[in-house]
């Protein structure tokens, strides 16, 4: 019996593929690699690892390639893996338990998005739907960022099943700076084709706008963001959001001048939606902290930054989208120190900056701030606060 099929599509991935395939060695009953036109040793490496290698002519459609791959699978379950990912050690037992459930159609797993390939401790975590039953009703749609259509929750409900979450963890290094721009440029072209095929899709409008902005095409990017925002106007009073992609849209909108907003949306509207719909979305909290700081509300900014740091320690933030982990780590700590300094809480600020001395991104700024605190202490005779003696 073939219980688990691990499926990948790959093109010119000879550098990444060995790591991906090693990570699932001994777990999969079959591994299926669909090559979409490699000119390197991708297909040969896949065969060396015992994978079934199939070939699919690239047609500017990731979903078409994925669905072709699913058609080759024979397992009861599918674990979808990208060539620039790996299954982390310690996920085996959870994966085995997940396959035993007869109540679940699909599982969200944890994906760690690395910022740098040489720093495995710098990542943000997000949910990704990657483990699912091999079912003819589960098929992908979308030229890029493929998603199940109909949505997996609807399919699960129709079958009397659920969509679960698990602690199965993948590590992804596809967003590191060395490869990010080429991926954004490829994605931009596919997003344009997708919106040409099916205009007005909210998810893809948001992704299109964000990609344009990331590629510094600001004029077109902001226009697309405003177009996507028009779909919020009829649902502003709803208790829950219709899409998790509203969070990154709000992140973009909050950086726009208010005169660029569609009719019916104001800055207060956006701030209310952020707090009501996405109270633990780290990027939105980061923007809120910056606004409070810029407005001189240092105590309020301090509270938000402390929340970001706590969410970073506990990984308790909203995992619906990825983000730069610095905003729940070193950047948050640096700005917390600045807030404390503005409030005259010199000892607490000093502790923040000392905690950053070994940071390779914020260490120099931390040292500059510590030097400034030292000068203040010398010039104005400010002493460190000594802890009060306890009486018992």
Alpha-helix runs per DSSP H in 198-265: 202-214, 218-229, 246-253
CATH number, domain of 32, equals 3.90.550.10
Question: Is 193's pLDDT higher than 70?
Answer: yes
In a domain, 347, yes or no: yes
Question: Is 88's pLDDT higher than 60?
Answer: yes
In a domain, 245, yes or no: no
Question: Is 362's pLDDT higher than 60?
Answer: yes
Question: Is 351's pLDDT higher than 60?
Answer: yes
Alpha-helix runs per DSSP H in 230-380: 246-253, 267-277, 282-294, 298-314, 330-342, 346-354, 363-380
- Give me the domain span that covers residue 372: 294-380
Average pLDDT, the chain: 93
Q: What is the pLDDT of residues 247-282, one digit of tens each?
A: 999 999 998 888 888 899 999 999 999 999 999 999
Backbone angles phi, psi at 178, to 5 degrees: -65, -25
In a domain, 273, yes or no: no
Q: What is the pLDDT of residues 226-235, one digit of tens each?
A: 999 999 999 9
Whether residue 165 sits in one domain with residue 27? yes
Distance separating alpha carbons of residues 55 and 353, to the nearest angstrom:
54
Last residue of a domain, one of 129, 153, 175: 175
Whether residue 8 sits in one domain with residue 150? yes
Q: Quote the pLDDT of residue 383.
A: 62
Number of domains in the chain: 2
In a domain, 333, yes or no: yes
Last residue of a domain, one of 175, 197, 218: 175
In a domain, 338, yes or no: yes
In a domain, 194, yes or no: no
The pLDDT of 74-87, averaged and rounded, is 97
The least confident of 134-138, 204-208, 378-382 is 378-382
Question: Is 387's pLDDT higher than 50?
Answer: no
CATH number, domain of 327, equals 1.25.40
Q: Quote the pLDDT of residue 175.
A: 64
- With 0-12 CB in 10 A as exposed, 13-18 as middle and 19+ as buried, what is 343? middle
Q: Quote the pLDDT of residue 117.
A: 80
Whether residue 171 sits in one domain with residue 299? no
Question: Is 126's pLDDT higher than 60?
Answer: yes
Whether residue 156 sits in one domain with residue 22? yes
Q: What is the value of pTM for the model shown?
A: 0.89
Last residue of a domain, one of 142, 175, 208: 175
Question: DSSP label at 384?
Answer: P
213 confidence band (pLDDT: 50, 70, 90): very high
Backbone angles phi, psi at 288, to 5 degrees: -65, -45
């Amino acid at each position: 019996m073939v219980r688990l099929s691990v499926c990948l599509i790959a093109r010119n991935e000879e550098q990444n593929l060995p790591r991906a395939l090693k990570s699932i060695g001994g777990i999969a009953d079959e591994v299926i690699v669909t090559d979409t036109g490699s000119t390197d040793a991708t297909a040969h490496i896949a065969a060396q690892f015992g994978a079934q290698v199939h070939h699919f002519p690239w047609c500017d459609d990731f979903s078409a390639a994925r669905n072709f791959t699913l058609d080759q699978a024979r397992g009861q379950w599918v674990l979808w893996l990208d060539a620039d990912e790996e299954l982390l050690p310690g996920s085996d037992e959870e994966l085995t338990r997940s396959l035993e459930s007869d109540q679940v159609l699909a599982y969200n797993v944890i994906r760690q998005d690395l910022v740098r390939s040489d720093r495995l401790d710098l990542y943000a975590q997000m949910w990704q739907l990657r483990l699912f039953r091999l079912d003819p009703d589960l098929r992908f749609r979308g030229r890029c960022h493929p998603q199940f259509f109909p949505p997996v929750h609807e399919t699960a409900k129709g079958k009397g099943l659920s969509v679960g979450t698990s602690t199965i963890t993948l590590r992804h290094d596809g967003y590191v700076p060395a490869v990010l721009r080429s991926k954004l440029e490829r994605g931009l072209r596919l997003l344009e084709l997708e919106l040409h095929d099916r205009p007005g899709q909210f998810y893809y409008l948001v992704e299109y706008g964000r990609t344009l902005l990331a590629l510094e095409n600001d004029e077109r990017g902001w226009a697309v963001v405003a177009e996507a925002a028009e779909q919020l106007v009829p649902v502003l009073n709803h208790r829950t959001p219709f899409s998790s992609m509203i969070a990154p849209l709000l992140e973009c909108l909050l950086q726009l001048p208010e005169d660029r907003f569609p009719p019916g949306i104001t800055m207060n509207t956006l701030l209310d939606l952020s707090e009501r719909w996405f109270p633990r979305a780290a990027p939105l909290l980061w923007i809120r902290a910056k606004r409070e700081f810029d407005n001189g509300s240092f105590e309020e900014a301090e509270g938000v930054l402390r929340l970001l740091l706590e969410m970073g320690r506990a990984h308790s933030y909203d995992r619906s989208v990825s983000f730069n982990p610095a905003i729940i780590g070193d950047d948050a700590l640096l700005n917390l120190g600045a807030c404390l300094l503005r409030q005259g809480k010199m000892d607490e600020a000093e502790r923040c900056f000392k905690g950053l001395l070994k940071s390779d991104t914020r260490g120099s700024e931390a040292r500059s701030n510590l030097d400034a605190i030292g000068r203040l202490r010398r010039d104005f005779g400010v002493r460190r606060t000594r802890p009060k003696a306890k009486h018992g």
